[in-house]
Chain A
Amino acid sequence: AQKITQTQPGMFVQEKEAVTLDCTYDTSDPSYGLFWYKQPSSGEMIFLIYQGSYDQQNATEGRYSLNFQKARKSANLVISASQLGDSAMYFCAMRDGDDKIIFGKGTRLHILP
């Protein structure tokens, strides 16, 4: 069965430091996609970055990058030079062949000034 695991319920990071949010996944399908979403206190889910299982390079979007280690079934989100506005809930998610996406339980990130 599909599964997404985020082991860090909460994290505190000093502003301007880099931060890594952990995500591991489990699927038997060789073809899958991995997503990260940000949810600020306002509640809306914001799509950040996508990584396909066959992509040769790690995905990057501005300050966001995805550290994809396929053999370890790991898809960690890295935020460089963190900002106060990065304080939010972050969800890792996966789709493996149908229209549904399954989500992890999330990590709440607090950026300290």
Chain B
Amino acid sequence: DVKVTQSSRYLVKRTGEKVFLECVQDMDHENMFWYRQDPGLGLRLIYFSYDVKMKEKGDIPEGYSVSREKKERFSLILESASTNQTSMYLCASSPLARGLTDTQYFGPGTRLTVL
């Protein structure tokens, strides 16, 4: 079974703090993704990575950065957290696409509140 884990289910931080959200997958997947999910907006892609030390901006990268030093780990960093970054954050992984059928496998999510 594919397993994607996220470091925290719930997190409360203060405005201006640096926040690290960690994601680890155990299936040797090349691709990893960070999304945020807000009511009425669905999932929006923040950043993704095709390989170690490689990153690509998604649709809403502003205010975020990422790090992928090892294949199994993909970190999302909020350099200076703001209240508008209060959200549910979902990490996902998938194998390198050899067709269109490969689904993404998701972690349980981290619900971040910035006060």
Contacts and interface: CB of A to CB of B under 8 A. Distances in A.
For chain A, which range describes its interface: under 10, 10 to 19, 20 to 34, or 35 or more residues?
20 to 34
Contacts of A12: none
A101 interface: yes
Interface string A34-61: 0101000011111100101100000000
Contacts of A33: 99-101
Contacts, number: 59
Interface in B31-50: 31, 33, 35, 40-43, 45, 48, 50
A42 B9 CA distance: 10
B42 A103 contact: yes
B94 interface: yes
B84 to A, nearest CB: 19
Contacts of B50: 99
B83 to A, nearest CB: 21
A103 B59 CA distance: 12
A104 B42 contact: yes
Which are the 8 A-B pairs with shortest beta-carbon distances? A33-B100, A45-B106, A105-B42, A43-B109, A103-B43, A47-B103, A44-B108, A99-B97
12 contacts: A33-B100, A33-B101, A43-B90, A53-B100, A96-B100, A97-B100, A99-B97, A100-B33, A100-B45, A103-B35, A104-B42, A106-B42
